[in-house]
Chain A
Amino acid sequence: MPSRPHLVLAALSSAAALAGLLAGCSSDVTTPRVERSLGPTFANLYVQQQTLLGHTGLTAATVAPRPTCSRTNPAAHNKGAGTDWICQVSWTGPDHKPLKGKFELTIHPNGCYEAGGPTKVIGPVTIRAADGKDVTNPVFEFDGCFDTT
């Protein structure tokens, strides 16, 4: 019969092995999932912003954002939750003007994220709407979520 320290050691090593195995498993937060979620969410919000500014006629389809996302930390292998996600997005603005900018994302393990847009391109936190009122800029900072299953 194995003694108690042996049992403890066996339990610990199998737990460590299991943890190692699980750590090697694929993460819930992956680059394709981030890109597939950020693109449409930004497009929808951008249409809202442009409508507020008086530029009607844009749709999510004409904005057509193309995000390319990665993590700053190379050890993270562009997956997993973190505050260092960067997405370069190019899209089509009013009058078919090509636009691009860098979005900074904080992504949580549950698949929800906060994105901050490039102020120079998408404007400050508050914008002057076409009717003269100051309103919250919907694309300055925004939240989104994607399916992690």
Chain B
Amino acid sequence: MTAPTTTTAAPEALPATPATRGRVTTAYRWEAAKLVAQARTRVTLGICLIAPFVFVTLLDQQSQVPKDTLFGRWIHASGFATPLFILGFASQWVFPLLTSIVAGDIFSSEDQYGTWKTILTRSHSRAQVFWAKTLVAATFAVLVVIVLGLATLTAGLLLVGHQPLEGLSGTLLSPGRAASVVLAAWATTLPPLLGFTALAIMLSVLSRTSAVGIAGPLVIGLIMQVYTFLNGPDAVRHLLLVTPFDSWHGLARDHPYYGPLWQGSLVSLGYLVVCLAVAHLMLRRRDITGG
């Protein structure tokens, strides 16, 4: 890309970071290593890998079908219905949990262990540590969705089969088309998921407690779901961070529509920018002398 222009634009300004300071990538590697060392991270990924197989096996033993969720009625008819059914059934409450497990703890754990001073005396600026932690939390969120999405698709294909899928416009989607719909639908959850990542980071920085960082996004997500359930004005519903989790519906059709997808991505981006800006500002302004 382009060379950093800030150094030439304001040479007289106080040097925020000395030239000898480390890079974000180095801090990112450290943060990633810390995350991998945590049992919680590995257990979460393991559950995401195994749970879909258990779930589909249990569903297979039922003669009734869960008709009240989209694609639930086709759960025994096509393996491609499985990942879409799980997406519709679980995305709104499972995804906020999966990302905040890491994002809601990655800043506040330094408060908990009193280690802010230690990591900031290393050769990285506060901003670099902030971005490294944020990128690690985002990486984990994306990784979890990839693992869970592929596991549900594999579980469906292995345990049910690759029959054509009845779409949402009354036409059968060929196995190839159904597979691409499944992958695209799971990919559309990334914007709201990263929105929840940013929300968890903000709460983690503001509260300095992991309990708030992890449970906060869940509670906020739940309140948003209750609002949707109570059928409040649609203009407000469009601004909620759980609404974009439904934006994949238009893809599972003969003639797809993308309106909710663009709208949802824009809303998610708004949450992402605002939450990260607040978190960044608060961390930079914080007086870290104790600990």
A interface residues with partner B (beta carbon < 8 Å) = 19, 22-23, 25, 27-28, 40-45, 48, 80-82, 109-112, 114, 136, 138, 141-149
B233-273 to A contact mask, C-beta < 8 Å, 1/0: 11111000001001001101110010110110000000000
B62-76 to A contact mask, C-beta < 8 Å, 1/0: 000001101101000
The A contact surface, by secondary structure, is mixed
B170 is contacted by which of A25, A44, A110 (Cβ under 8 Å)? A44
23 contacts between A and B (CB under 8 A): A22-B233, A22-B236, A25-B235, A28-B234, A41-B168, A42-B170, A44-B170, A81-B231, A109-B234, A110-B228, A110-B243, A110-B260, A111-B249, A112-B168, A112-B246, A138-B170, A141-B67, A143-B70, A143-B73, A145-B70, A145-B253, A149-B260, A149-B263
Instruction: For residue B136, give the distance in angstroms from its CB to the closest CB of chain A.
Output: 33
Instruction: For residue B34, give the distance in angstroms from its CB to the closest CB of chain A.
Output: 39
The CA of A82 and the CA of B249, in the complex, are separated in Å by: 19
- On whether the beta carbons of A109 and B170 are closer than 8 Å, the reply is no
Number of A-B residue pairs with CB-CB distance less than 8 Å in the complex they form: 77
A44 is contacted by which of B71, B77, B171, B243 (Cβ under 8 Å)? B171
The CA of A42 and the CA of B68, in the complex, are separated in Å by: 19
The CA of A25 and the CA of B235, in the complex, are separated in Å by: 8
Please give, as numbers and ranges, the residues of chain A lying within 8 Å of B71 by CB-CB distance: 143
**Which single residue of chain B is at the shortest CB-CB distance from A24?**
B233
**Which single residue of chain A is at the shortest CB-CB distance from B249?**
A145
B233 is contacted by which of A19, A82, A147 (Cβ under 8 Å)? A19
Please give, as numbers and ranges, the residues of chain B lying within 8 Å of A109 by CB-CB distance: 228, 231, 234, 237
Interface residues in B163-191 by Cβ distance below 8 A to A read 166, 168-172
- On whether the beta carbons of B250 and A144 are closer than 8 Å, the reply is no
- On whether the beta carbons of A41 and B228 are closer than 8 Å, the reply is no
- On whether the beta carbons of B170 and A40 are closer than 8 Å, the reply is yes
**Which single residue of chain A is at the shortest CB-CB distance from B169?**
A41
**Which single residue of chain A is at the shortest CB-CB distance from B256?**
A147
Asked if A142 meets B257 with Cβ closer than 8 Å, knowing A80-B231, A110-B246, A136-B77, the reply is no
Instruction: For residue A23, give the distance in angstroms from its CB to the closest CB of chain B.
Output: 5
A45 is contacted by which of B170, B250, B257, B263 (Cβ under 8 Å)? B170
- On whether the beta carbons of B260 and A148 are closer than 8 Å, the reply is yes
Most chain B CB within 10 A, of A27, A43, A80, A147, is at: A147
- On whether the beta carbons of A44 and B233 are closer than 8 Å, the reply is no
Please give, as numbers and ranges, the residues of chain A lying within 8 Å of B70 by CB-CB distance: 112, 143, 145
B184-204 to A contact mask, C-beta < 8 Å, 1/0: 000000000000000000000
The CA of A23 and the CA of B233, in the complex, are separated in Å by: 5
- On whether the beta carbons of A147 and B170 are closer than 8 Å, the reply is no
Please give, as numbers and ranges, the residues of chain B lying within 8 Å of A43 by CB-CB distance: 170
The CA of A138 and the CA of B243, in the complex, are separated in Å by: 29
Interface residues in B65-110 by Cβ distance below 8 A to A read 67-68, 70-71, 73, 77
A147 is contacted by which of B171, B236, B260 (Cβ under 8 Å)? B260
Asked if A41 meets B170 with Cβ closer than 8 Å, knowing A109-B234, A112-B249, the reply is yes
Asked if A25 meets B169 with Cβ closer than 8 Å, knowing A136-B77, A141-B73, A143-B70, the reply is no
Asked if A40 meets B169 with Cβ closer than 8 Å, knowing A110-B249, A111-B249, A148-B260, the reply is yes
Instruction: For residue A22, give the distance in angstroms from its CB to the closest CB of chain B.
Output: 4
- On whether the beta carbons of A44 and B234 are closer than 8 Å, the reply is no
Instruction: For residue A121, give the distance in angstroms from its CB to the closest CB of chain B.
Output: 17
The CA of A6 and the CA of B129, in the complex, are separated in Å by: 43
